[in-house]
Every structure is written in C-alpha cells, then in structure tokens.
Amino acid sequence: MNEEEQTQECALANYGSITPVSEDLTEGDIGRKRRLSFNSLEIAQQVCFVQDLLATGVRPNLIRQQCAEKWGLACKTSEHRISAARRMMISDINCMDRSEKVSELIEKLETVISQAIANNMGSNAIGAMRLQAELLQLTNKNKLS
C-alpha cells in the first residue's frame, strides 16, 4: 500500500469525527477553545439530523443539546442548523405541486386504512376513508342546501 492510499484510508477511518481547524497550538492558543470545522457534507448531515428531529416534534432546546453532545456545536451554530433545517423543509414543501402532495397523502391513507382494517380498528379506517374522499373531492362539504 502506498503512502497516498494510507492517507486516504486514514481520512476515511476518521470520517465524521470532530477535527479542529488547526492541529498546531501556539503559545497564544493555550487556554483558548479551538474552533471546530466541518466540511459541507458534514454540515448537510447535521442539518438533515436536525430536520428529522424537528419533524418528530423535538423542542429546539433539546435539539441544541443533542447537537452539542453529538458534534460539540455551540448554541449559535445549533441555531444556524435549526434555521437551515426549517428553510429546507419549507423549500421541500414549496417545490411540490398539489397533485404530487395529494397523491402522496392518498398513498399514506391507503396504508392507514389497510392497517386499521387488519387491526380491527373500524373507526380509524372510516376516518381515513373520509379524509381520502375529501382529498379526492368526492364529497362536497361546502354544498349549500
């Protein structure tokens, strides 16, 4: 194995670990915290992790705490990751047109209906069918009598 392959293997083995900006400490740096540096792939993974937490309803203070424990992020950096995750969620929703969203919801409701019937939960199945009919505009709730 040549030196380049060993360096590449070492980099792959350390992938995901927190690495400081500078390995060398000077006398002026002693006692100061070293700033952590992440590449764009790691930042994207952090934003995706935060996005998943936001989607499951985790509170922002707990997200900041988990970011600090997992990557050693400062509070302000965690706030930036949270806002980036929210922007990504909004852009995901904005780029989806109505027909795509309706078809996605109908597929999810099909799953809910089949699971509800399999588990003898008739009221859940009926509720999912009602919602499905509303999405497909098969019922007219706003109809004047």
Q: pLDDT tens across 58-70, in order?
A: 999 999 999 999 9
CA distance 18 to 36: 7
| Nearest residue to 78 (alpha-carbon basis) of 90, 91, 66 | 66
Comparing 19-28, 55-64, 98-107, which segment has the lowest mean pLDDT?
19-28
| Mean predicted lDDT score pLDDT of the chain | 80
Domain count, the chain: 2
pTM for the structure as a whole: 0.52
Higher-confidence position of 52 and 19: 52
* Residue 108 structural domain: 98-135
pLDDT of residue 98: 81
Q: Tell whether 78 and 107 lie within a shared domain.
A: no
Same-domain pairing of 51 and 82: yes
